[in-house]
Amino acid sequence: MKQVTLVLVATMVLVAIQQDTTIQSQKQIQSSLIVQAEVAGAASSAVKAVGGEITHELGIINAVGARLTATQAAELEKRGLQLHLDHSFKTSGLRVGVRGQLAMSFNQKSAAWDVTNIGGETIEVSRIDLQWPAANRKLKSVELNGVEIFKHPRAASSTVIENGWRGDVKDRRIEPGERKSFNFAFQKNANTNSDNYKVRVDFAQGYSVAWPLAANTSIQGDGEVVLETNVPSIIAADTLHDNGITGAGVTVAFVDSGMNSSLPSLNYGADGNWRTLAAYNAINDTLNDNLEESHKFLSLEMSQ
C-alpha cells in the first residue's frame, strides 16, 4: 500500500511540473505586436476575441498594441488584420536638417539664396551643385554671408564645387539656428527669374538642401530627381516611415488663423503626392476643395 501511495504522489508531482512548464512556455512565446485593422475599434475587438492582451490603444492608425501567442497571432492574420512587430526606438533628440528660404534674391551681377540650420549640430559646406542661365556668362565666385569661400571662374552654365575652397574651414560652417546667405557672383548681370536656377548644397554631416523648393525636389549626381523634405526628420517620423508606418489613409484637420497653400512642405506628402484636401473659412462660410489647382492663400479662421 505504501508503495502504491508513493507512486501516485510522484505521478501527481510530475504532472504538476509538466503543467507549470507548459504554462511558462506559453508565456514565453508571447510577442509584443501592433495589430492594425481597416476601421477604428476592429483591432481591439479582434484581439479580445482571440484572448490576447491589449497594451496600448493606437486609434489614430486604427490599431492596438498587444501581447499575443503565435497561435493568437496566426488567427488574427487569418481574419485579415495586419500585424507588425512592436519595436522600441531611441532617437538622438537632434532637430536635424537644413531649410532653404522660399525665394532667391538678385542684385545686378549676383544671385543670393538663404539657408537656415534647423538642426542641433554645426554643419559644414562640402559640395555645391549649381546651374544658371547661360546669359549670366561665367560664375566668378561664391560667398557665404559676405565671406568668399570659392573663387575659380567656371564656364556657363553649370558646375560642381567640391574643392578649391578659399579661407578657413570655419567660413563654410553654419551653427545651429543660424541663417546664412549664399551669394553667387557672375560675369554679367544675373537673370532674375528664379526658375532658371538650380542649387544643391551638401554638408559634411550628411545633410543637404536644394533649390527650387516649389517642386520639393533636388537633383542627385546621377541625374535622378528625388523628394526633399525636412519635416519627417524634425519630428523623427522618418524612423516610422522606414518601418512602414506612414499614416496613409489618416485625415488630419488643422484649425488655425490662416494657411499659405503654396507651401510645398504643407501640401506634399513623403511620396511626393498632393495631400491637402480642402480648406473651410468659418467666418465667410466658404469651402475650397480644389486647392491643388487654385494655390490661393486661404483662411481657416474661427470667429472670435
- What domains sit in the chain, N to C, each tagged with a CATH number? 2-85 (3.30.70), 98-234 (2.60.120), 247-304 (no CATH)
pLDDT value of position 259: 64
pLDDT for 262 beyond 80? no
Q: In this structure, are residues 34 and 46 in contact, taking their beta carbons and an 8 Å threshold?
A: no
The more confidently predicted of residues 18 and 148 is 148
Apex 106 CA angle, 100 and 107, nearest 5: 140
Calculate the CA 269 to chain-centre distance. 9
pLDDT value of position 302: 33
> Please, which pLDDT band fits residue 39 given cuts at 50, 70 and 90?
confident
The more confidently predicted of residues 111 and 117 is 111
CA 67 – CA 30 distance, rounded (Å): 6
Strands 139-144 and 158-161: unpaired
pLDDT for 54 beyond 80? yes
The DSSP line for 267-295 is: HB-TTS-B----EEETTTTEEE--HHHH-
- Mean pLDDT to the nearest integer, 271-296: 65
Report the share of the chain in percent with pLDDT over 70: 67
CA 136 – CA 184 distance, rounded (Å): 11
> Please, which pLDDT band fits residue 236 given cuts at 50, 70 and 90?
low
Q: Which of 19-28, 108-117, 169-178, 241-250 is predicted with the least confidence, judged by mean pLDDT?
A: 19-28
pLDDT for 300 beyond 50? no
Instruction: Dig out the grid coordinates for 116 from the structure.
Output: 537656415
pLDDT value of position 195: 86
- Mean pLDDT to the nearest integer, 197-212: 88
> Please, which pLDDT band fits residue 185 given cuts at 50, 70 and 90?
very high
Picking from 99, 129, 110, the residue whose alpha carbon sits closest to that of residue 183 is 110
CA 185 – CA 138 distance, rounded (Å): 9
Q: In this structure, are residues 112 and 181 in contact, taking their beta carbons and an 8 Å threshold?
A: yes
pLDDT for 22 beyond 50? no
Picking from 115, 121, 127, the residue whose alpha carbon sits closest to that of residue 96 is 121
- Mean pLDDT to the nearest integer, 261-281: 66
pLDDT value of position 268: 63
- Residue holding cell 479580445? 48
The more confidently predicted of residues 65 and 93 is 65
CA 178 – CA 180 distance, rounded (Å): 7
Strands 98-100 and 158-161: unpaired
pLDDT for 223 beyond 80? no
Strands 147-150 and 82-85: unpaired
Across all residues in the chain, what is the average pLDDT?
76
> Please, which pLDDT band fits residue 107 given cuts at 50, 70 and 90?
very high
- Report the SS3 class of residue 82: strand
- Mean pLDDT to the nearest integer, 59-79: 89
Picking from 32, 28, 78, the residue whose alpha carbon sits closest to that of residue 58 is 32
pLDDT value of position 298: 37
pLDDT for 257 beyond 80? no
73 CB neighbour count, 10 Å cutoff: 21
> Which residues neighbour 6 within 8 Å (Cβ) at sequence distance 6 or greater?
none
The DSSP line for 207-272 is: -EEEE-TTTTEEE-TTS-EEE--SHHHHTTHHHHHHTT---TT-------S-EETT-HHHHB-TTS
pLDDT value of position 9: 45
Is-above-0.75 flag for pTM? no
pLDDT value of position 157: 94
The DSSP line for 13-66 is: HHHHHHHHHHHHHHHHT-EEEEEE-SSTTHHHHHHHHTT-EEEEEEGGGTEEEE
Instruction: Dig out the grid coordinates for 298 from the structure.
Output: 486661404
> Please, which pLDDT band fits residue 228 given cuts at 50, 70 and 90?
very low
